[in-house]
Structure 1
């Protein structure tokens, strides 16, 4: 039963697209995953402006009416987070996004998508060991917190062309997922000069340790609504200027079902509660007692506003800029979301990008390639509630990054293979600075069969 449960948790992790293992995924609902496809990563943007093809962004449904074919897009990515001071690194990868987009006669479009929203995967141990002297014994106390899981995002989008120059869209995001949080306290009696486990070795590592474990699990669900508006009516001189705006808000309040399990002494050190632990589970089947269930409705209230500009310098060369402000309007005073008790309260993003789009009718092979580049800045602000002082303390960290990317067109239906790379320097006011490498590869296949069936012979 317990083995099956572990496999089930592993599947949840895989299908929730867990993407980063570091202290940042221990804050709030986890590390926000903001760039889901290779064309967005290649420009270092949030995907508001056209970056997939000329006049088209996979992340902005108001541009989908410009698509000539229906598309299926799959993106796979990997991330490496390197601790500069301790020379440690975490490397993980996973499926980043799936999309199906169906344009209808150049006036409408619908689409569905499946992608990660946030991830949690961390194992953190305190560097501070508290020493207590009780009679003639020396007791060392330490604390470890572990967590894993995440929130996935299933989206449904509708877009329409209002005029020749204005297009709009609505996107509905159903967020769902789960996470587990564990707090483990380790008590070590120190070197007592005895062979406590009778294996012939005195005071070996872990011989005199006792572990106490407390587990929680969260089940998440909620719905967001996004609005998009794109206009092509503006010009600077004879150069076309495209402007896009978007907003994001809560449609159905985000609900968290919290399951709090009884703490126990993990005598056999297997990490879960069983008949060998203390207190011993009661009953004929030795089943641990049921968890205490609580429901919370206002622990996570995300909101976002963004604006972007695309200046068409030539038919193929475009200069872009985007600004975004994301915030969590909840006022949390507990650690239901995370054992760290930190809440990401706002996140700001700005990028400047340059794209050389492929030629519509290429004469040479390199004219079938999109070239993307950009520079971006991100600022994260967090707060932590201090129960003893009844106040919040704030904390921040910042990213500066470079991005490069390629997109290769092939086939009659403008299929595309995309590559995107981010090189990010993260400066942190509390933790060690990090160097982050983010890579993504995407394959997008177009087909006219979804739009217009061939005539029967």
Structure 2
């Protein structure tokens, strides 16, 4: 019988993120909407990019001065109590936003939705042998969005996300010095819709307060189709079922001599519902205090146990954030007006479905941005550091994230302003 003790989580270098959070359900949900939001620890609701604008909230896009093409890069590191260090780096999003005459806006983005990559090894209590479960891939989101000015004080944003992608669950078993391998491929598809509201109704000359709200729901719950491939002896130790049978260390049976994979339609397994509230209080000299409170109910079906390495999923998440921003000015009078500064504290509580235990995440964020060029191109740098406690078996892990965002501006459809 195998004991669920985690021996290690393998470093995959510069390709994949390695955290135990990736092993729950369909993976760790991405809440990164650019380096600016990373800089104050917010998710996406309140302004972080520029005054009155969040790249993740289409209700705020009409406040942009220019059309923007945005891309971002992340580098992450996770350290476990035993001293092992795992790293990740790669592009995190691509986005195109067009404000139209300060009244409307539309945009299109391509982002990671979940990260699934992890590697877990369990050791036998009774026999010589071990089992390694390795997951790769995740779900992506292609999201068109619009923003509309509803009234003098309110704006509405709507996003529709097409969710798609594939992942692999690779099981490796070492029994009596023989390594066996089996691969499962999972194809994912679904869709969701998000509604955003922004109001400056309470934004007075002596009391600058903006309020924000968000509700997200599933239109088509994420379905999973599983392809279960044939069990084989991994004689060459590659972790893949090779097609060649020439080498004396060829896999047995080789891939060209096995039946096609068994196909299983697992069905609708994941239909999250989200709700967020936020505020932005404008103080003197472009300083702003922001805060967010959010809740996510993931609504997993019991079928997740068929593809989750830990046989568990995150059932719900509570998010709390408070931060301070100082944005660059609309009119650039000197070089100091080109800088923006951000910082914040954030806390998340994840509740597990099967064990009902909670994982607590606390962290600190810091960042700055710099405007250059006539169309207010912007580059942002941000850093987060924090820890998670309550993780199964390993209990704690610390994490750090470095994020860079580049936004290039243009004048398409924008009401001409004085440059």
Q: TM-score, normalised by structure 2?
A: 0.90
The CA deviation string for residues 208-236 of structure 1, in whole angstroms up to 9 with x for no partner, is: x1122222110111111000010000147
Match of 1:351 in 2: 321
Measured in 2, the distance between the counterparts of 1:288 and 1:432 equals 42
1:367 equivalent among 322, 337, 358 = 337
2:56 is the alignment partner of 1:68: no
2:259 is the alignment partner of 1:289: yes
Match of 1:342 in 2: 312
Contact in 1 for aligned 2:63/2:102 (Cα 8 Å): yes
Contact in 1 for aligned 2:221/2:269 (Cα 8 Å): no
Aligned to 2:200, what secondary structure does the other structure show? Answer: strand
Match of 1:222 in 2: 190
Match of 1:202 in 2: none
2:163 is the alignment partner of 1:175: yes
2:83 equivalent among 87, 104, 125 = 87
Contact in 1 for aligned 2:304/2:312 (Cα 8 Å): no
Q: Which has the larger radius of gyration?
A: 1
Match of 2:3 in 1: none
Contact in 2 for aligned 1:18/1:120 (Cα 8 Å): no
* Runs (5+) with no aligned partner, structure 1: 1-12, 133-139, 189-208, 385-392
Match of 2:401 in 1: 438
Deviation at 1:53, TM superposition (A): 0.6
Match of 1:265 in 2: 233
Deviation at 1:297, TM superposition (A): 2.5
Q: For the aligned residues, what is the CA RMSD?
A: 2.1
2:91 is the alignment partner of 1:103: no
Q: TM-score, normalised by structure 1?
A: 0.83
Measured in 2, the distance between the counterparts of 1:288 and 1:153 equals 35
Contact in 2 for aligned 1:397/1:428 (Cα 8 Å): yes
Aligned to 1:160, what secondary structure does the other structure show? Answer: strand
- Bigger Cα displacement from structure 2, 117-126 vs 362-371: 362-371
The CA deviation string for residues 163-208 of structure 1, in whole angstroms up to 9 with x for no partner, is: 11100011011111110002222113xxxxxxxxxxxxxxxxxxxx
Deviation at 1:333, TM superposition (A): 4.5
Deviation at 1:421, TM superposition (A): 0.8
Deviation at 1:314, TM superposition (A): 2.1
Residues paired across the two proteins, number: 398
Measured in 1, the distance between the counterparts of 2:236 and 2:285 equals 68
Contact in 1 for aligned 2:300/2:313 (Cα 8 Å): no
Contact in 2 for aligned 1:402/1:422 (Cα 8 Å): yes
Measured in 2, the distance between the counterparts of 1:115 and 1:151 equals 9
The CA deviation string for residues 344-389 of structure 1, in whole angstroms up to 9 with x for no partner, is: 11111100011111122233322221110100101111123xxxxx
Measured in 1, the distance between the counterparts of 2:282 and 2:19 equals 40
2:147 equivalent among 153, 159, 169 = 159
Measured in 1, the distance between the counterparts of 2:54 and 2:226 equals 38
Change (3 A) 1:330 1:354: same
